[in-house]
Amino acid sequence: MALLPILRYPDPRLKTVATPVTQFDDALVKLTQDMAETMYDAPGVGLAATQVNVHKRVIVIDVTEDNTGLTVFINPEIVGASAESKVYEEGCLSVPGIYEKVERPDTVKVRAQNVKGEWFEIDCDELLAVCIQHEIDHLNGKVFVEYLSQLKQTRIKTKMKKQDKLQTA
């Protein structure tokens, strides 16, 4: 397994819409393993392939305290969402150190495939619901800061660019 570099906002590659996975092979298994290792190392609770510059519809998530609940979602889609919404404070491995409140449906039903190509459905609530919606946004080329006001987006872009300059100096 290998750690993968995580793209940082406002990298334009984060805007790329991921394509569906059609080959369920050893390369896909390795990608999900590398993504999981990268997510745990960061540390985070979710990672979309888009964030590691692989533009395929692949997500890894583990919202457990002890990192024992890894779930891989291939070609995920939200097939149902509650009318009720909830505000959660979100962060992102592509936007390190930034946490902002985002309103999303409280619960969602997700349909996806596993690494073998088998379809499954899962009802998500609490942190898992937030995380799956956040990561599917990445697959669709959207970063959570895009839910914020234009002023906040500009401030975050400026802060991220400043951090990047300091790291490369």
CB 18 within 8 A of CB 165: no
Helix or strand (DSSP H, E) at 1: none
d(CA 105, CA 97): 24
Q: Which residue in 65, 126, 135, 146 is the catalytic one?
A: 135
CB atoms within 10 A of CB 130: 25
Inter-CA distances, 50 with 37, 78, 81, 85, 106, Å? 16, 18, 23, 26, 24
Q: Is the dihedral of CA 70, 76, 132, 152 positive or negative?
A: positive
Q: Alpha-carbon distance 6 to 143, whole Å?
A: 13
Known binder of ligand: residue 55? no
Please say if 77 is a catalytic residue: no
Task: State yes or no: 138 annotated in a binding site.
Answer: yes
The one-letter code for the residue type at 49 is: A
Residues sharing a CB contact under 8 Å with residue 53, sequence separation 6 or more, in sequence order: 5, 7, 13
**92 labeled part of a ligand binding site:** yes
Binding-site residues, please?
Answer: 92, 134, 138
The binding site for Fe cation consists of 92, 134, 138
Catalytic annotation, residues: 135
